A and B are shown apart, each in its own frame.
Chain A
Amino acid sequence: MSMKISKLLEDVSRRQLLVAAGQGSAVVATMTLLPGRLRAEFPTLYEAINSVTGDASPAEGRIELTLPQIAENGNTVPIEISVDSPMSEADYVKSVHVFADGNPNPNVATYHFTPANGAARFAARIRLAKTQNVIAVAEMSNGDLYMAKSEVKVTIGGCGG
């Protein structure tokens, strides 16, 4: 049994290296972020969040995360995020990072704001492979971090495998 699993991991890593060699910077960047973890194609949720927050622990609040409680189709799940901020030159939301803990790759997207936005909010549509938590981390211009989480029950998964 363990033989099989290690064989599988080897196959994955070989394919991964081929993909990385032939393809874009995203995979390469993921790999350089994770030295010594060449076997996994994607970071864990912890690693993904940690690459944004470092050692700091995000506070609760200020983020309004709007997702359906139940998504019938995981291929396109509406997401809306609004962060409480004056959006002035002195105090604005720099970015919002979105993660999903049940997808093959926990990174979903990052949204970068400027004071020109006037309000720190956006709406988009994401894929969720199965029932899981969606996590948003907001990075303020002064470096403060905030986090919010919402569970979405997915009826039909959005991986199309």
Chain B
Amino acid sequence: MASVKPRVKVPKSAAKGEIIEIKTLISHVMETGQRKDKKTGEKIPRQIINKFTCTFNGTPVFSSDWQPAVAANPYLAFSYSVVESGTFHFEWVDDDGSVYVKDVELKVN
């Protein structure tokens, strides 16, 4: 899937103890495996992102397991309690084994 593009929105800087919102979005069809090809009548094979993980400086923060009922171009927002400066690492795992990644820096004032 060449067109898969992960996007993440995190405040560039934050204060220690602040709870920030992390917004993620990734372009993906999330093919359910339930749809039929209108011409052939054959089921279109399932292909979804089935796992999302977020770590900060290597420590797990948040993760999610997805089924085909997660909408196309999956959007996910969650919160994070700021402790120190560092790097968020985001990963999306596709049914076909592809892993889409994104790293984002956070600066603590």
Contacts and interface: CB of A to CB of B under 8 A. Distances in A.
A5 interface: no
Q: Residue among A104, A114, A128 with the most chain B CB within 10 A?
A: A114
A123 B35 contact: no
A113 B68 CA distance: 21
Interface size classification for chain A: 35 or more
B34 A161 contact: yes
B90 interface: no
Contacts of B107: none
A159 B67 contact: no
A107 B81 contact: no
Interface stretch (B5-13, B56-64, B98-106): B56-64
B66 A109 contact: yes
A119 B69 contact: no
Interface of B: 19, 32-36, 43, 45-46, 50, 56, 59-72, 74-81, 83, 95
